[in-house]
Amino acid sequence: MRKYLQETVVSPYKIMAVDDDGGILDSLKVVLKRSGYDLVCYSNPLEAIERLKKEHFDLLLLDYIMDELHGDQVVSEIRQFDKNLYILLLTGHKDLAPPLETLKQLEIQGYCEKSNNFDQLLLLIESGLKSVDQMHIISKINEELKDKNDELEKAYLDTIEILRYTVEAKDPYTRGHSDRVSEYSVLIGNKMGLDETTIHILKIGGLFHDIGKIGIPDSILLKETKLDDEEYSQIKNHPAIGVHILGDAEIFKDIIPMVLHHHEKYDGRGYPKGLKGDDIPLVARIAAVADSFDAMTSKRTYRNALPVDTVIAEIEKCSGTQFDPKITDVFLDILKNDYKKIEEIQNKYK
């Protein structure tokens, strides 16, 4: 097989493309070079794997169906030595798209159908590189703050706060969302009598549970009409992207379960892992209730905030299916008998 290499260009990112179709590689070269990206192309996946072992790349564009090795096999090899490489899988047809379970297991950040129109791919590349960039910043700060004191840890948290505000600044209707989810989660945890360490995890985890949305294209995140299946599958990647961004930071290790699993459902029909019942981490089960409550009681471009009575009825309806019944009962008790605390949080982050 031929090996395709593009001449060195000045670029802040290094991207590799692997596809056994030379025509696709040639097209990618032209399109990405026009967009200012450095690109290295291989038609032989085994050669690509060897290159990745020796050299750092920021993002990999990988064909799913290849003669030598299928894309999932290539990713399986790569994940043995590189857990952080951002990977976009390319498919020739929607019917040939990789199973969702494959994407989850191999931590593949997204996929895109091949097309003569490269606009969607460029959007995904741009979003992916935003995540890569933020992960590099966090990794760098993590190294600098290793074995440092509480004052430096606060500086670290302040830096991550900037990333969180970047996410919420995209959509004025969700501004304050993470703050409220954090406080609602702490309110539930205190009512349950949880220990101080767990309360701290709920507080920090609530603040950063949606950090992965920085890697979702604005065209999807801010869409006012119903998402199609492909767009929804990309939205569902935000917990994994959040883990990808925060995963190298030692101080965030305890909140990773909350970031990754806050969209799991008690009956096992949630994502990204489809966990069920007590297999879902407790902090994530609490966040699921707090997150859904805030979504229902917040104004959106397509609807006003729902009345409290309607929200209470919906939470009662979803007890045992979407939500842990015990946590539901605790939160319903707060809503029905101590709503003043809820109003104080809402007023605080208007």
Active site residues: 213
Nearest to 291 by CA among 264, 313, 317, 251: 264
Q: Which residues 6+ apart lie within 8 Å of 337 measured at CB? A: none
**One-letter amino acid identity for 114?**
K
Angle (nearest 5°) at CA 273 between 83 and 263: 110
φ, ψ dihedrals at 42, nearest 5°: -130, 140
C-alpha distances out from residue 264 to 97, 100, 211, 238, 316, Å: 23, 15, 17, 13, 18
Strand 38-42 with 3-5, pairing: antiparallel
By the 8 A CB rule, do 329 and 315 touch?
A: no
Q: How far is it, in rounded angstroms, from Cα 74 to Cα 241?
A: 20
Helix (H) or strand (E) holding 14: strand 14-18
